[in-house]
Amino acid sequence: MLEEIQLYMMERFYNLKEEGQKWDTEICPVAIKKMEAFGESLKSWYVHPSGVTAFEVRNGFYSYCVNLQEYSCTCNLWAVSGIPCVHAQATIMYTQQDPVSYISSWFSKEKLQVNEEEINVEEVNDEDTQEIMRSNTQESRMRKTQQIRRRKPSERITELKLKKQVVSKFGMTESTPLNLE
């Protein structure tokens, strides 16, 4: 199991590195698409400055506070995803800046192209690991023995009142009690 996880991680890191080399921009194309999806209703939001880097963004009864210096919005979508929400994008466009520059650095090509020493996947085939894996599988087998739960006296079924429907050869149905013993 550990070897499979190790192989999966090694392949994933390699594929991500290869994918990152194909990008035309410094930011992940998926992040840019997601930002564009967030900004579909951009025109309906009105920006009101309330400081140098603080803004209030309104749409009808809804209002959110955006701080460009702290990369924050009160809807918390920007903080969770790392991609500017529609409120932040409206503010960025109001200040005539590029919204792509406000995407988190975790989506950059630079973060993806880390050195191989930093992503070192340790070897799993050493003797200590094999011994631990053997002991864990033996313990799990011993734990899997089935235990039958004893029923309480109130749970015991003395007589079941189910009836079995039997169709006779004359087309009539007869009800007979089921015997579970």
Residue 141 to residue 65: CA distance in whole angstroms: 56
**Residue 114 tokens, joined:** 């880390």
Q: 50-95 pLDDT, tens per residue?
A: 888 899 999 989 999 999 999 999 999 999 999 999 999 999 999 9
Q: Which has the higher per-residue pLDDT, 12 or 162?
A: 12
Per-residue pLDDT at 14 exceeds 70: yes
From the list 43, 40, 45, the residue with the least C-alpha distance to 56 is 45
> In which residue are the tokens 């003797």 written?
127
Output the CA–CA distances (angstroms, integers) from residue 118 to 41, 113, 114, 115, in the order listed. 41, 10, 7, 6
pLDDT of 24 reads: 85
pLDDT of 159 reads: 47
Burial label for 20, CB within 10 Å (0-12, 13-18, 19+), is middle
Residue 71 to residue 55: CA distance in whole angstroms: 12
From the list 107, 101, 111, the residue with the least C-alpha distance to 27 is 107
Output the CA–CA distances (angstroms, integers) from residue 13 to 19, 33, 120, 130, in the order listed. 10, 22, 10, 25
Q: Which has the higher per-residue pLDDT, 103 or 125?
A: 103
Q: 104-114 pLDDT, tens per residue?
A: 888 888 777 76
Q: What is the pTM of this model?
A: 0.58
User: Quick one: pLDDT band at residue 122, thresholds 50, 70, 90?
Assistant: low
**Residue 120 tokens, joined:** 């070192």
pLDDT of 162 reads: 46
Q: 129-175 pLDDT, tens per residue?
A: 666 666 655 555 555 555 667 777 777 655 444 445 555 555 555 55
Q: Where are the beta strands (DSSP E) in the chain?
A: 46-49, 54-59, 62-67, 72-73, 163-167, 173-177
pLDDT of 13 reads: 78
pLDDT of 80 reads: 92
Rg from Cα positions in the chain = 32
Task: Break the chain into its structural domains and give their ranges.
Answer: 2-112
